[in-house]
C-alpha cells in the first residue's frame, strides 16, 4: 500500500487567509453599524444613530492596520 502525502500548507498563505478573515469580520461589523445608523436616521432618531456609529472609527483603524499587514 502506498501512502500519498499531501503537501504541507504554506504558512504564509495560512497567515494571509487569517488576516483576510479578520478584515472581513471587521468590515461586516462596520457595515452593520452603518446599516443600523441609516435606519435610525431614517426614523428620525439622531441620538440612536450616534450610538450606532460609536466605535466605527476604531474599527476602521483596525481594518486599516490588518490590511497593512498584507502590504
pLDDT band at 1 (very low <50, low <70, confident <90, very high): low
Task: Describe the crossing of helices 11-42 and 56-68 by its angle, rounded to 10 degrees.
Answer: 160
Nearest alpha-carbon partner for 18 in 70, 58, 62: 70
Whether 42 has a pLDDT exceeding 60, the answer reads yes
pLDDT of residue 6: 73
pTM, to two decimals: 0.78
Amino acid at each position: 500500500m502506498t501512502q500519498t502525502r499531501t503537501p504541507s500548507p504554506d504558512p504564509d498563505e495560512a497567515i494571509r487567509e487569517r488576516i483576510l478573515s479578520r478584515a472581513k469580520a471587521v468590515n461586516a461589523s462596520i457595515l452593520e453599524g452603518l446599516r443600523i445608523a441609516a435606519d435610525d436616521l431614517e426614523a428620525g432618531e439622531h441620538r440612536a444613530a450616534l450610538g450606532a456609529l460609536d466605535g466605527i472609527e476604531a474599527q476602521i483603524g483596525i481594518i486599516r492596520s490588518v490590511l497593512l499587514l498584507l502590504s
